[in-house]
Amino acid sequence: MKVLVIGGGGREHAMAWRVAQDSAVDGAYCVPGNAGIAADVSCVPGKILQTKELSSLAEFLEVDCTVVGPEAPLVAGVADEFESRGLPVVGPSQEAARLEGSKVFAKDFLVDNAIPTARSVTLEDERDVDATVGRFGYPVALKADGLAAGKGVLIVQEEAEARARARGMLAGNVVGDAGRRIVVEQFLDGEEVSFMVLSDGEAYCVLPATQDHKRAYDGDAGPNTGGMGAYCDDSILSSAMRDRIIERIVEPSLAGMRRRGTPFKGFLYCGLMITQEGPHVLEFNVRLGDPETQPLLYRLEGEFAELLASASRGALDPSLVRVAERPTACVVMAAGGYPAKYRTGIPIRGLRQAAQQGAKVFHAGTRLAAGSPVTAGGRVLGVTASGAGIGEALSNAYRAVRAIDFEGAHYRSDIGSRGLSRLASENA
Ligand code: AMP
Ligand code: GLY
């Protein structure tokens, strides 16, 4: 079997690497990939928004299945292009991708289907700002409607700032046209969980829960990022909570999309806040999470490529997913300055030593310069390891992190701390 992965970040490295492990796979490709992906599978140059060129590439490579990593090509209709040419693809249609492409659409969908989510109101006229932003008290979440690469959500503590920020967004000064409509949302307090499922439009299978770390610095301080690290451990959710999420959120979401005539095919990521009142949807993504995919796929056993192929054919076989006992963790090493301005082209040392520590270093933002890896993005590497328990997985990951060096590198030193404290309280 031959598989093509679209994208070039840490999530795509994990997917390409994992697909290439399967016994049935004799060709694994990635477009455009990066320096680390090129060490594991064949990379092909290309632009991820050129949907016609991508489908021609899949035809040329004679792949049995294509899986789309990032949201932008899905929102641009890449899956529709593939489907129209009879090419099997894992990823939702443009219409179904609105669950991520428009926060206003997602909120309306959640409310229409009685799926638990924070109370909210849509704001599109600057004249309504003063009367609207305080409706749910403070802090408040202000969310740009459109795609904003992780920069579209502001949590604001008080009224004067909320009014100013909302005006700035509506005027297009924060995330451009993506902010011309905003969702003003009640702040929810609790623990965040990333809950992902794979669906073929009808059937679905549940992937193990993961937990991301969105803030830049230790102790959840600093600005939001794309994610500074994640782990995958059974302690994240009790089985009762998992059942509740499936019953109250996953099944009504998939059924709601079918009822609209836009069945959801692909990975549905439910970004949840587990509050005192139970799980609430903060956001949907229409693809796997990044960096959550790195610890997730590092832990997943079974025939992943076959699983993708079965979903792409509309004949999902959930028995192909098996979850290893050992928990996993991923620590993101970011460029100096990230998530604000950062430099690229900085040489990366110690990758071989890190691998010798037993970790898998997924590349997020790297390229080759004269045959050697250099930085090429804000999130540079996702250092991933497993262990007998979450503590051991984390110490294995951090040992490998300390073997790697590039100028300005920064990472959080408290990835998985919620998992560790859960463990400590269980043992107390
Ligand atoms: P989103 O892209 O909607 O997931 O928002 C990005 C981050 O902002 C989330 O991961 C949360 O940490 C935070 N956030 C979003 N909405 C809320 C909310 N209603 N209450 C509290 N935190 C939120
Ligand atoms: N790590 C969060 C996301 O992939 O959106």
Predicted confidence (pLDDT) per residue in 215-268, tens digit: 999 999 998 899 999 999 999 999 999 999 999 999 999 999 999 999 999 999
**311-341: burial string, b at 16+ Cβ within 10 Å, e else:** bbeeebbeebbeeeebbbbbbbbbbeebbee
Largest CA distance in the chain: 60
Rounded to the nearest whole angstrom, what is the distance from the C-alpha of residue 273 to the centroid of ligand 1? 8
Q: State the alpha helices, DSSP H only, in 185-335.
A: 239-245, 251-259, 293-299, 304-312
User: Which amino acid is located at 206 in the chain?
Assistant: V
Q: Could you tell me the domains of the chain? A: 2-93 (3.40.50.20), 125-180 (3.30.1490.20)
Indicate whether residue 71 lines ligand 2 (CB < 6 A): no
Nearest-CA residue for atom 18 of ligand 1: 187
SS3 198: strand
- What pLDDT score was predicted for residue 307? 97
- For residue range 293-325, list pLDDT tens digits in order: 999 999 999 999 999 999 999 999 999 989 999
Ligand 1 pocket mutation, candidates 100, 110, 281, 283, criterion most atoms within 8 A of CB:
283
pLDDT score, position 173: 82
Query: If pLDDT is split at 50, 70 and 90, which confidence band does 25 have?
Result: very high
Q: Which of 71-85, 153-167, 402-416 has the lowest mean pLDDT?
A: 153-167
Residue-wise pLDDT tens digits, 98-108: 999 999 999 99
* C-alpha of residue 30 to centroid of ligand 2, in Å: 20
Tell me what the mean pLDDT of segment 404-417 comes to. Answer: 98
Q: Which protein residue's CA is at the shortest distance from atom 9 of ligand 1? A: 282
Spell out the residues 6+ positions from residue 89 whose beta carbon is closer than 8 angstroms to its own.
58, 65, 66, 67, 68, 78, 79, 82, 83, 312
Structure confidence at residue 398 (pLDDT): 98
Do 107 and 117 form a contact (C-beta atoms < 8 A)? yes
Q: What average pLDDT does the chain have?
A: 96
* pLDDT of res. 172: 85
- From 220, 273, 285, give the residue whose CB has the most ligand 1 atoms within 8 Å, as the site to mutate: 273
CA–centroid distance, 350 to ligand 1, in Å, is: 35
Answer whether 115's CB lies under 8 Å from 249's CB: yes
Q: What pLDDT, on the 0 to 100 scale, is given for residue 382?
A: 98
Estimate to the nearest angstrom the gap between the alpha carbon of 17 and the chain centroid. Answer: 17
For residues 314-337, give the mean pLDDT: 96
Asked if pLDDT for residue 176 goes beyond 90, the answer is: no
User: Band of the pLDDT at 178, cuts 50, 70, 90?
Assistant: confident
Please tell me the predicted confidence (pLDDT) of residue 175: 83
Q: What is the pLDDT of residue 360?
A: 98
pTM of the model: 0.96
Distances (CA, A) of 172 to 27, 121, 283: 44, 19, 22
Could you tell which of 282, 283, 284 is best to mutate to test the pocket of ligand 1, judged by most ligand atoms within 8 Å of the CB? 282
Tell me the CA end-to-end span of the chain in Å, nearest whole number. 50
Mean pLDDT of 154-180: 90
| For residue 125, pLDDT beyond 80 | yes
Q: Is 173 helix (H, G, I), strand (E, B) or coil?
A: coil
Q: Where residue 79 falls among pLDDT bands split at 50, 70, 90?
A: very high
CA 148 to chain centre: 14
Instruction: Write b or e for each residue in 280-303: b if 16 or more Cβ atoms lie within 10 A of its Cβ, otherwise e.
Output: bbbbbbbbbbbbbbbbbbbbbeeb
- Cβ(401)–Cβ(360) under 8 Å? no
Residues facing residue 103 across a β-bridge? none
Give CA–CA dist 200/196, Å, rounded.
14
Nearest to 57 by CA among 134, 115, 5: 5
Measured from the Cα of 188, ligand 1's closest atom is 20
The number of the ligand nearest the C-alpha atom of 194 reads 2
Pocket of ligand 2 contains residue 212 by CB under 6 Å: yes
Query: Which tokens in the block code for residue 323?
Result: 């979850």
Question: CA torsion 365→367→372→373, rounded to 10°?
Answer: 0
* Secondary structure tally for the chain: helices H, strands E: 16, 24
pLDDT value at 353 more than 80: yes
**What average pLDDT does range 175-202 have in this prediction?**
94
Determine the residue of 232, 285, 296, 331 to mutate for testing ligand 2's pocket, defined as the one with the most ligand atoms within 8 A of the Cβ atom: 285
Q: Ligand 1 site: residues with CB under 6 angstroms? A: 118, 141, 143, 153, 155, 185, 187-188, 192, 214, 224, 271, 282-283
Smallest CA-to-CA distance from 19 within 63, 71, 85, 62 is with 63
Paired tokens of 261: 């005539």
Alpha helices in 126-262 (DSSP H): 129-132, 159-170, 239-245, 251-259
417-427 and 390-403 are packed helices; what angle lies between their axes, rounded to 10 degrees?
Answer: 150
- Ligand lying nearest the CA atom of residue 138: 1
The pLDDT of residue 177 is 87
Q: pLDDT at residue 129 above 90?
A: no
The yes-or-no verdict on residue 150 having pLDDT over 80 is: no
Structure tokens at 257: 């999309």
Å from CA of 289 to ligand 2 middle: 4
Q: How many CB atoms lie within 10 A of CB 264?
A: 27
> Which residues, 6+ apart, have CB-to-CB distance to 124 below 8 Å?
170, 180, 181, 182
Q: What is the mean pLDDT of residues 174-203?
A: 94
Residue 287: φ, ψ to 5°: -160, 175
pLDDT band at 423 (very low <50, low <70, confident <90, very high): confident
